[in-house]
Every structure is written in structure tokens, then in C-alpha cells.
Structure 1
């Protein structure tokens, strides 16, 4: 089989041909094991990989700045989490941009990785099982992953992460498989998604694993692996952590939750910033810039650059249909 066909349009580590592709890679035995485990399970754990002094600085900033109500935060903050704390904390940015981690992710996915969002938690999230692909997706698909870092030891009492090994091989579920209608969805529909995924876990007999992390441990997970947060059993216990979400170069990036996956109207993430460099990300499809048309305030539809008149005519008909409904 021709190598280009084997590589297809997947991250090589997520490819159905990964066992063949890995033979063409110049990897160490340790890298081969990481890639093989990641392909099989949808996650890997890194211990003794991150500098402990950096871990301590991130937690210190989170305690003294992030969750200090007297310190102004321009991004989203509630009692559990802060989004994009990297904008206020040099340590948080340094952790998200840790070069050996970026290099490892780039090795696994075969493209340059870049961090685009951080979430910092002071307690367990207690989230139900979900896949990141409902929030973050890409074209080509699956060029996204998350890295969760423990800023303290995690036990059964303070709400450890859980995940379902191998669940990354399930379809990337979104509301086109859940809702009967074709209207766009929002975060108000999220409970329907969570209920659906709970049934997916049951019908597939997926085995749950719980991550009792040690301070400094990092868990890399595939965009489509099902994961969540266990209940907090000890009232008042903390669970300091940072999650960083990563995309990879030469993709278009979008939010399925806020897209209409029936009509292919996508909520494109056109203003992503590479946290490591501070530069705005220039999206493309494998290096090719595509044109797209705005269909409403938040959604776009791709317009084939070789047939723009047809795309414009389709958009006109779509809008006329909407007005006449």
C-alpha cells in the first residue's frame, strides 16, 4: 500500500494504519511505546516529566491571583475554574508552552502543536463523561488533544479524573446524532449530550479507570476519549490542576456544540492565539486556504474555491428558505 494512502488524513498516532506508519518513523523505544499505548488507549501518563518548581509556581499563582476575588481577571472565572489563566500568570503560560511537551505532542500527531486554551481548577470538576470533540474539533479531524496536570496529589476523596480507555475509537458524537431537528444547538442543550453519552457508555460496556495522580503527573488524552471528574467525597478538599488544550498546525478549527452539524454551518474559531508565541493562528486545510461564507452571526459554511458561484447560489437558496419558513 502506498505510504500516502496509509497516512490518510488522520494524525498518524490515531490512524487505523498506525502500526504500519510507526515502522517508517525514526523513534526511540520509549517514543514507540508512548505512541503504541496512545493509539490503543487514547491516553498516556507522564510522570517525572514536568519541573516541580514550575508546578509549584502555577499553583501559587492560582491561589494568590487566580482565585483571589480581589485580583481582577478579564477572562471567565467562577468558584471552580478560571479560563485562560495564562493571560494573568506567567507560570501558567510557561506550563502550557513547556517545550518538551510541545515536542512530544508534535511527534505523536505529526504536526506542530500549539496551546490555545488553559483551564485552572481549585477543586474537582465532577463533570459527567464527555468527549472534548463536542467543544473543540478540527478539519482534518482529530488534530486536538488535552493535557491535564496535577498541581497536588489526587486521591479518591478529592474528585479524581476518570476516563474510558479505548473510547477514542467511538464515533465523534454531536447533536446531529442526538437531536431530531436540524436547528442549531447551544450550551443549553448540553445535558442532552451528557445523557446520550451516559447511554453510550452503558451500551458499549466501557470500563472506567480512575486517575489517582501524583503532584506533577501529566495525562495526555485524545480529543475523542470519554472522560470526566469523579464526585468529591471529602467536603472542602482541593484538587489544584491545570488543563491545557492543544490544536495542531494546518487545520481549520471549530466548536461542534455551537455549530449546525446537519447543515455543515460551523462555528469557526477564527481568532485563536498560539499561547506559546502570542501570535494569531492562521488556519488552513493541510496548508490550503479555503474560502467560506458567513451564514449568520456565529456560523460559516465553506465555499469550494473552485466553484464559488455554486457556493454563493447555495447560500442564497438557504437564506431564502429560512425567510420563508
Structure 2
């Protein structure tokens, strides 16, 4: 791996990660609002856009999620907390303790949220390109995941050309397993897991170096003048964080409280998520306006072929069948209640 002296990290980064990023702000003739956003993000590793997600779009997405868990929806795929097994939502299920993966595939409402104008404009600003959404998670309860940096697990061909967002689907109160983060931690020196990569490989690097890294992040949080901060957003607020910002989920103190959220991971269009190499059949990219998206859990090429093979008549028949099926399910549910 060649060093990149113009960047904070030897793995390179976005233009805001260059040593001369302040000069870049001037050279790019950013307007005052853009310059202020870049300065805050480059120094702190995160930025908050208050009320950036329209309430009606938040409600539309939440309604789709609630209906899917109430009635079942095999197009939705989810994991239980602590499990890597992805399974279809074949029937009614409890939303608590699970997370939905890549909800932007079955629900356009998720794409609408990820296309919120302020969010999209900021990604375009720091990426110098339109964004590619390649992973998302939706939670009702906090994950309680310890402090970590996304670059250890979320892999693209240029490791630090990555950013993520957290969209609040409701007001979040203390004790709900709220998002926590350490401002400025995105400028920590690169951690060497042992293989020379930015990401951790459980097979080649082993568990010990991973545990040392996790303890290192906790120790830094204790020593940092910024300390550990917590995100208590209002519905519609969006937090964007840098690829290397140390963050996690606080402990759930009150199990009755939720922190409904939608998280997305993005890279510039033109970059390559790791699963493009391991599973080439999942490398299909589709577009929702300027936003591109792909998924490691859905074969978008197969979906496109299936849609192309449908005639208008067959689509109407399928829609009619699904409507009849939903009516039958509701009738049986009412009979049993």
C-alpha cells in the first residue's frame, strides 16, 4: 500500500480528508453555508441536519414498516440483533429486537428519505460525485453495539471514501439505546489489524487484534476532550458521520422505549463495494434520481428481468391476486379475533 502524504490516512480519502482541505474550500469557491458544513464535518467527523427529512415521508416509511410486521411481507428481509442470518418476513412478527436490511429495495419510501435534499446535497459536496447507497439498516430498538469505526466492517475499494447517515423516525429519549459517538475520532491514526488492510478480516487477523482495537477506541473516548456524545434527535433530524468516526449504540436502559431509525452507508458513484467482487451477480446498480443504489441482499438484476417479462395484463392479474390475498387474510384475522 503506497503512502498518500496529502491525506490524513495512508489509505487516502475524500477531498475533505486532505491535509490542505481548508485551501480546497477556498479553491472550490464554496458558498458560506457549504464552507461552514465542510469545516464542521472535517474537524468533528459528523454533522447534524435538523428536520431534513420531511415528516410526511418519515410517516410513509414507518407505515410501510408497521404494516409489514403486522401482516408479513416476504419482500422484506431482516436480521435479529446479534445474528448475521438474513431471512424474509414471511409472516407477522415482533419488530423489537430485529433490524431490516436494505429496506430501500422493497420500499420506495426509504429511497425518498435517503434522497432528502439537504442530505443528497451534502453527499454530493463531500464526494465530488452523486452518492451510491449500498447498505441500509432500520431499527426500532438500539443495537447496543460497542464503539467501532465503519471502515473495519464496511468495505469499499477506497476504504475512506465512505460516509453514513442516521435518520430519526421519531423523537429519541435517553435510555432508548441512543446513538453515541466521539467527535474528532475520525482523525485517529490508522489501526493495523495485522493484514495491512483498513478493514478487519476475522479469518486472517483473528479476534485478539479486534479486541485491542475496540479497547483502544473506548480508551480514546475516555481521554478525548470532547468525550462521548449522544444523539437525541427530533423526528426528521439526520446525522451524517465520517467513515472513521468512532460510534456505537448506548445501552438500552428502558426496554419500553424505542429509537426508530433508518441508517444508510454511501460511497461516491464509481467506487466499488466489496460484495461486487465476492458476489458479482449483486453488482447491479439502479437509480432513484441522482441517488444510485445496490444491494448485497437482493439480486436487482433478477428483479429487473422479472419486471421486464411482465405484460401489463399479467401485472394487473398479479396486483388483483395480491389484493384478494390481503382481503382474505384480513377476513380470517377478523374472524379469529
TM over 0.5: yes
CA offsets 1:205-239 (integer angstroms, 9 cap, x no match): 23211111111110000011000011111122211
Tell me how large the CA RMSD over aligned residues is. Answer: 3.2
CA distance in 2, matches of 1:275, 1:51: 23
Among 19, 22, 26, the residue aligned to 2:22: 19
CA distance in 2, matches of 1:195, 1:275: 39
CA contact (8 A) 1:121 1:239 kept: yes
User: Which runs of 5 or more structure 2 residues have no equivalent in the other structure?
Assistant: 81-96, 295-337
Shift in alpha-carbon separation, 1:253–1:208, aligned structure 2, 3 A: same
CA offsets 1:180-219 (integer angstroms, 9 cap, x no match): xxx9525996686255322333157232111111111100
CA contact (8 A) 1:162 1:209 kept: yes
Other structure's SS at 1:37 match? helix
> Structure 1 residue 81: deviation in Å?
0.5
Structure 1 or 2: more helix by fraction: 2
Among 249, 268, 273, the residue aligned to 1:248: 268
CA contact (8 A) 2:147 2:217 kept: no
The TM-score, its normalising length taken from structure 1, stands at 0.71
CA distance in 2, matches of 1:150, 1:196: 29
CA distance in 2, matches of 1:89, 1:50: 16
Which residue of the partner structure matches residue 237 of structure 2? Answer: 217
Among 45, 57, 71, the residue aligned to 2:73: 71
Among 71, 90, 98, the residue aligned to 2:116: 98
CA contact (8 A) 2:164 2:263 kept: yes
Summarize the alignment of residues 132-151 of structure 1 with structure 2, pairs less than 5 Å apart. Answer: 132-151=150-169
The TM-score, its normalising length taken from structure 2, stands at 0.69
> Structure 1 residue 92: deviation in Å?
1.2
Summarize the alignment of residues 222-233 of structure 1 with structure 2, pairs less than 5 Å apart. Answer: 222-233=242-253
CA distance in 2, matches of 1:19, 1:226: 23
CA contact (8 A) 1:48 1:216 kept: yes
Other structure's SS at 1:92 match? helix
User: Which runs of 5 or more structure 1 residues have no equivalent in the other structure?
Assistant: 256-265, 282-325
CA distance in 1, matches of 2:98, 2:136: 14
Shift in alpha-carbon separation, 1:216–1:187, aligned structure 2, 3 A: farther
> Structure 1 residue 74: deviation in Å?
5.0
Shift in alpha-carbon separation, 1:174–1:90, aligned structure 2, 3 A: farther
Summarize the alignment of residues 172-187 of structure 1 with structure 2, pairs less than 5 Å apart. Answer: 172-173=190-191, 175-176=193-194, 185=202
CA offsets 1:102-140 (integer angstroms, 9 cap, x no match): 232111222221211211001111110011101223333
How many residue pairs match? The answer is 263
Shift in alpha-carbon separation, 1:223–1:184, aligned structure 2, 3 A: closer
Summarize the alignment of residues 78-157 of structure 1 with structure 2, pairs less than 5 Å apart. Answer: 78=80, 79-157=97-175
